Chain A
């Protein structure tokens, strides 16, 4: 059973647009929610992460919105650029567990 469900599977936006990627989780024990960015031929790299005690976190053009009651979180990319074209994975974990449950990934294409 997949613990973290991610949508959409793929996304195309124009430069400057705001792509939004959504994730939902089941286990209310999760308390750490990172997003990873993966470029072709590379491994996933930590982009931004949030704990459930806040509803939003911003780092540069990347924002995580977190809705604890709905068990959902999302990634927004402001002023998207062609260099943001990559596959994005959401994940969830308990901080004291060294194991992440990942979503199935979203392939983002930002057109010039």
Chain B
């Protein structure tokens, strides 16, 4: 079974530019999550999709971040315009059902550096 795939693995952009991160969940997983780890700190929840619907987006930092999951398959996370504090590792995870029973499968992450 293919795992959760994220790309790019690394991205370096200038402040003010736009970046789009992509996540392909495990096939058949309705739940898709985005998390972020700023250097040395905790991994923080950003949002949760169930199929194509946003179930919880309480962790999105501000309106410069836009997440989509068209058709309930892959998801994109766009940052526009990027700021220095957006640097970090962005993780995507997916689960088959309730995460408490099934757990998450994380992707390897996208390391975003804003300079």
Whether both chains belong to one complex is answered with yes
- Chain A positions within 8 Å of B, measured between CB atoms, are 2, 4, 6, 9, 32, 34, 36, 41-46, 49, 89, 91, 93-96, 98-105
Query: 1/0 per position for B22-46, CB-CB distance to A under 8 A?
Result: 0000000001010101001111110
For the complex formed, measure the closest distance between the CB of A99 and the CB atoms of chain B, giving whole angstroms: 5
Does B81 make an interface contact (CB < 8 A)? no
Best-surrounded residue of A32, A43, A93, A103 (most CB of chain B within 10 A): A43
Given A2-B42, A43-B4, A44-B91: A100 touches B107 (CB 8 Å cut-off): no
CB pair A96 B103 closer than 8 Å: no
For the complex formed, measure the closest distance between the CB of B6 and the CB atoms of chain A, giving whole angstroms: 8
CB pair B4 A98 closer than 8 Å: no
Best-surrounded residue of B35, B40, B42 (most CB of chain A within 10 A): B42
Does B61 make an interface contact (CB < 8 A)? no
**Number of chain B residues close to chain A: CB under 8 A:** 29
CA distance A4 to B44 in the complex (A): 11
Given A43-B109, A45-B106, A93-B100: A98 touches B48 (CB 8 Å cut-off): yes
- Chain B positions within 8 Å of A, measured between CB atoms, are 4, 31, 33, 35, 37, 40-45, 48, 55-56, 59, 91, 93, 95, 98-101, 103-109
What chain B residues lie within 8 Å of A42 (beta carbons)? Answer: 108
For the complex formed, measure the closest distance between the CB of A51 and the CB atoms of chain B, giving whole angstroms: 9
For the complex formed, measure the closest distance between the CB of A17 and the CB atoms of chain B, giving whole angstroms: 24
CB pair B106 A102 closer than 8 Å: no
CA distance A89 to B40 in the complex (A): 12
13 residue pairs bridging A and B, Cβ less than 8 Å apart:
A2-B42, A9-B40, A43-B4, A43-B91, A43-B93, A45-B105, A46-B104, A89-B42, A93-B99, A98-B33, A99-B33, A102-B43, A105-B42
